[in-house]
Structure 1
Amino acid sequence: MNLWCTVRRVQAVLLPALTAFVVVVVVAHDQYIRLPALIGTSGNQVFLMQLAPLIVVSALAHGLGQVVPEAEGTAQRPIRVLDTALIGTLTGSAALAALTVAVSAGSPEASMAGRNTLFLTGLMLMARRIHEQAATAVPVGWVLAVTLIGYRDVGRPWPWALTLHPAGFLPTLALCLLVFAAGLTSYVRPRRT
């Protein structure tokens, strides 16, 4: 178990990333920046909560990418089960922390960070199924795309730009949970060789 924690960088990378995520959500839950838009004449108002999930998702992609095939192939412990528990615990903790900040600070934007963490983790896990080394690029690419072309008008995101939708929009939450579940399922299923 200690070897698995060390290889997956739980103490060295994942816990500090979760801590950094929580600090960013607590400090900047209502802060936004204005970024240029490729569509439209005005810039896009982007809450920092749109970018905060990348802290957790990128760290998780890094941790899951640290594989020792020789040791894991002969391991007595179920590595996929441990990895699945790690994914669920990390993303669940991030979502719970964001929801706690949203309720205590009265800031719905903070809960968007938790929802978006689940969505981007699902994307990352599905991308790992296709190409493991590029899995981190998919969530980052998604965030860049919605930041630059995700708005059809000022404050009105396109339907496909899920991470920009308002925090209380239940269909978006359901879709984000569905993407997370699909990503987790694709990760758990063994690959054919």
Structure 2
Amino acid sequence: MQWWLKARRVNTTLLTSYAVFVALVLLLQDVVADLPSFLTGGDNPVVAILMAPVPLYAALMMSLESRLPAAEDTGTRPVRLMDAGLVLTVIAAAALAGTVIGLSFASSSALAVGRNTAFLVGLTLCTRPLIGSPAVMTPVAWLLAVMLFGFDHGHPYFWSVLPRANDDPIALMAAAVSLALGLVGQMTLRPRAIS
């Protein structure tokens, strides 16, 4: 287990990115940026905290990509199961940080950061078997699409997921489905090899 933690860079990369994530949630919790909308011609009030999960999920993907294929494919340890546990632990830690900060500062946007992290990690894991390590850019493309096309006169569309209210059932279902499909892909499919 200790060698797996070192191989996945949990003590260095993931803990550092988690500290950056918590700092971003603290700093950006209710900061709103008015971005242009390509659909309505007006402004989109985008909460800046939507970008907070980026360093965390990027570090998680870097950890998952730091595998040793020969040793892991021939070994007897359940490495894929341990990787799935790492994914769930990171998402639980993000949800915990968002909940503590959201309740402490009465910030509804901070409360949704765990759901948003689960959605973005699930999205990345869904595309990872198809495109390999460049899948880390999939959530960035989603974030840009949401920021530029995801609002109708200041109200988020149902598909946008991230800016929706913390208790929105559509967003919760999308995050759960995205994460479940991503974990199934993580457990059953091999990531595309770098060529």
Which residue does 1:161 correspond to in 2? 160
Listed one character per residue, the Cα deviations across residues 142-169 of structure 1 (whole Å, up to 9, x for unaligned) are 001101111122x211111111212221
How much does 1:50 deviate?
Answer: 0.8
TM-score normalized by the length of structure 1? 0.92
- Tell me, in whole angstroms, the C-alpha distance in 2 between the residues paired with 1:10 and 1:32: 32
Which residue does 1:95 correspond to in 2? 95
Which residue does 1:45 correspond to in 2? 45
- Tell me, in whole angstroms, the C-alpha distance in 2 between the residues paired with 1:39 and 1:192: 36
- 8 Å Cα contact 1:108-1:168 kept in structure 2: no
How much does 1:191 deviate?
Answer: 4.3
Listed one character per residue, the Cα deviations across residues 2-30 of structure 1 (whole Å, up to 9, x for unaligned) are 32222212122111111111111122211
Which residue does 1:27 correspond to in 2? 27
RMSD: 1.8
Which residue does 2:171 correspond to in 1? 172
1:69 aligns with 2:69: yes
- 8 Å Cα contact 1:49-1:112 kept in structure 2: no
How does 1:42-191 map onto structure 2 within 5 Å? 42-153=42-153, 155-191=154-190
Q: Number of residues paired by the alignment?
A: 192
For 1:87, give the aligned amino acid.
Answer: V
2:159 match: secondary structure: coil
1:39 match: secondary structure: coil
Percentage identity across paired residues of the two chains: 33
Extract unaligned runs of 5+ from structure 1.
none
- Tell me, in whole angstroms, the C-alpha distance in 2 between the residues paired with 1:140 and 1:23: 20
1:165 match: secondary structure: coil
- 8 Å Cα contact 2:146-2:160 kept in structure 1: yes
For 1:71, give the aligned amino acid.
Answer: A
How much does 1:76 deviate?
Answer: 3.2
Listed one character per residue, the Cα deviations across residues 63-120 of structure 1 (whole Å, up to 9, x for unaligned) are 1111211221232321111101110101111011101211121111101211110001
Q: Which runs of 4+ in 1 moved over 4 A?
A: 190-193
How much does 1:130 deviate?
Answer: 1.2
1:80 match: secondary structure: helix
Which residue does 1:12 correspond to in 2? 12
- 8 Å Cα contact 2:123-2:138 kept in structure 1: yes
For 1:103, give the aligned amino acid.
Answer: L
- 8 Å Cα contact 2:161-2:170 kept in structure 1: no
- Tell me, in whole angstroms, the C-alpha distance in 2 between the residues paired with 1:188 and 1:156: 37
